[in-house]
């Protein structure tokens, strides 16, 4: 019954494979992950709607989602970079569509038919470069947004958020390299296809219905909102899978210490390679591993943040759901 209700089983399987799960997970496991992701998306929509209401708006904006993950500087910087390059690609595509007819008319004229002596003429390449330059996404709570005049940006200048993003990106690349270094060509092609898995790419309508946007926000969210949620849902599945794999590894290690022969055999098989024939007998993570991973992620302290003790018997009670894989306030 759980399998019939699933809408993203294949996508979740692909995301889990990219995250290190080489065995095929059961429908119960993917159903549990999908339910967790759905709960997380609903929580983000509720918090974003509450922020929009405080601003006096009936519709959520990208800044509301940015505000939710403001403490995770690396992830926030990656999101802002993604949106800025998305705008560049859209602008470049529009300029190509508009400039296509002009290029056909001008033929092989290197100046594109422009008169070098005319005031309105000039190098077409230069104008295109300015138009397609990546614009920096500014946040309303940044100190620089308080002033009307902005300091000119330097191309070689990197702020702390970008440096943290680069460090996180390098770590992700190292992890991906470890997971793919023993793959054959066919396996790597499959891995590359799985990396494209998404809850939202070319599925925006299905995602809106699945998440229940109409229940939590009055207006229809724009494409940027859907893209951001698609990015964050992938991060949630990846974080859950990596934590579940760690839970499973600890469980097998405990069994091996007690002299479990089956656990010892599975351990020897894993040591010979990740994607060989010996992996056929490997058991995937189960619902109990995902459940324990989610529990750990709910109580794991957030790096870079300190909680203030307010006292009282209720101070130890957690009444708010924590978003998986995000440093949320």
**What is the pLDDT, as a whole number, of residue 220?**
82
Sign of CA dihedral 285, 291, 293, 294: positive
Assessment of whether the complete model's pTM goes beyond 0.85: no
**What is the pLDDT, as a whole number, of residue 263?**
52
Q: Which residue has the higher pLDDT, 132 or 210?
A: 210
pLDDT band at 103; cut points 50, 70, 90:
very low
**Contact between residue 144 and residue 150 where contact means Cβ atoms under 8 Å apart:** yes
CA 76 to centroid of chain Cα atoms: 10
pLDDT band at 260; cut points 50, 70, 90:
low
**What is the pLDDT, as a whole number, of residue 258?**
77
Coil, strand or helix: which one is 265? helix
Is the model's pLDDT at 114 over the cut of 50? no
**What is the pLDDT, as a whole number, of residue 3?**
47
Sign of CA dihedral 26, 32, 35, 36: negative
**Contact between residue 229 and residue 237 where contact means Cβ atoms under 8 Å apart:** no
**Contact between residue 31 and residue 11 where contact means Cβ atoms under 8 Å apart:** no
């Amino acid at each position: 019954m759980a399998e019939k209700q699933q809408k993203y089983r294949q996508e979740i399987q692909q995301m889990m494979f990219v995250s290190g799960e080489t065995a095929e997970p059961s429908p119960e496991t993917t159903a549990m992950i999908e339910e967790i992701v759905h709960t997380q998306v609903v929580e983000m929509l509720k918090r974003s709607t509450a922020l929009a209401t405080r601003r006096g708006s009936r519709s959520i904006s990208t800044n509301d989602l940015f505000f939710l993950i403001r403490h995770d500087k690396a992830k926030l910087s990656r999101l802002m970079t993604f949106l800025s390059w998305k705008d560049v690609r859209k602008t470049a595509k529009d300029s190509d569509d508009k400039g296509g007819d002009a290029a056909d008319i001008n033929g092989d004229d290197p100046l594109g038919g422009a008169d070098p002596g005319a005031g309105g003429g000039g190098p077409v390449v230069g104008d295109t470069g300015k138009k397609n330059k990546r614009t920096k996404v500014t946040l309303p709570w940044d100190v620089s947004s308080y002033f009307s005049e902005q300091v000119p940006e330097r191309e070689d200048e990197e702020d702390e958020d970008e440096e943290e993003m680069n460090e996180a990106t390098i770590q992700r690349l190292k992890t991906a390299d470890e997971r793919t270094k023993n793959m054959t060509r066919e396996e790597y092609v499959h891995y590359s296809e799985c990396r494209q898995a998404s809850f939202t790419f070319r599925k925006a309508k299905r995602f809106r219905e699945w998440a229940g946007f109409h229940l939590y926000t009055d207006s229809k969210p724009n494409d940027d909102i859907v893209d951001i949620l698609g990015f964050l849902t992938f991060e949630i599945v990846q974080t859950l899978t990596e934590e579940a794999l760690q839970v499973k590894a600890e469980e097998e290690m405990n069994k091996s210490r007690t002299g479990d022969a089956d656990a010892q055999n599975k351990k020897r098989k894993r040591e010979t390679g990740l994607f060989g024939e010996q992996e056929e007998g490997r058991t995937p993570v189960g619902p109990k591993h995902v459940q324990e991973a989610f529990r750990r992620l709910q109580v794991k302290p957030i790096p870079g943040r300190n909680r203030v003790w307010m006292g009282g018997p209720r101070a130890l009670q957690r009444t708010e759901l924590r978003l998986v894989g995000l440093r949320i306030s």
